[in-house]
Amino acid sequence: MTVRAFFQAAKVEGFQPPYDTIHLKIFYPAQISRRKVQTNREIPVDLEKAPFPVVIFFNGINCDAQQYQWLAVKLAERGLVVILFNWIAEAIPGIISLTPGVDFEKEKPTIYRTVPTASALPTLLAKVEQLQSEGILAGMLDLQRIILGGHSAGGRVAIENADPHFFPQVAASFSYGSHTMGTLLLGYEAGTILPLPDSVPLLLIGGTCDGVIANNSDRYGITPGNATAPVIRTFQEAITGGRNDSYLVLLDGANHFSIVDPLDSTLDTPLLDFPATQPQESFRLLMGEIISLFIDTHVRHQPEASQSLEQLLNTANPLIKSFERK
CATH of the domain at 102: 3.40.50.1820
Specify the pLDDT at position 196: 98
Q: What is the 3-state secondary structure (H, E, C) of 276-318?
A: CCCCHHHHHHHHHHHHHHHHHHHCCCCHHHHHHHHHHHHCCCC
Amino acid at 86: N
> How much of the chain, in percent, has pLDDT values that exceed 70?
97
Give the residue numbers spanning the domain of 37: 2-325
Say what angle helices 280-298 and 303-314 make with each other, to 10 degrees. 140
Residue 49: its pLDDT value, please? 86
Q: How many domains does the chain have?
A: 1
**Which pLDDT does position 2 carry in this prediction?**
93
Region 246-265: mean pLDDT is: 97
Specify the amino acid at residue 263: L
- Closest C-alpha among 2, 7, 9 to residue 28: 2
**pLDDT for 21:** 97
The model's pLDDT over 270-283, given as tens digits with 9 standing for 90+, comes to 999 999 999 999 99
Omega within 30 of 0 (cis) for the link into 51: yes
Residues of 113-129 as b/e, b for ≥16 C-beta within 10 angstroms?
Answer: beebbbbbbebbbebbe
Provide the pLDDT confidence category of residue 92 given band limits of 50, 70 and 90.
Answer: confident
β-strand 170-176 against 95-98: which pairing, if any?
Answer: unpaired
pLDDT higher than 90, residue 296: yes
In this prediction the pTM is 0.96
Who wins on pLDDT, 122 or 1?
122
* Tens of pLDDT, residues 18-46: 999 999 999 999 988 655 555 556 789 99
Tally Cβ neighbours within 10 Å of residue 188.
19
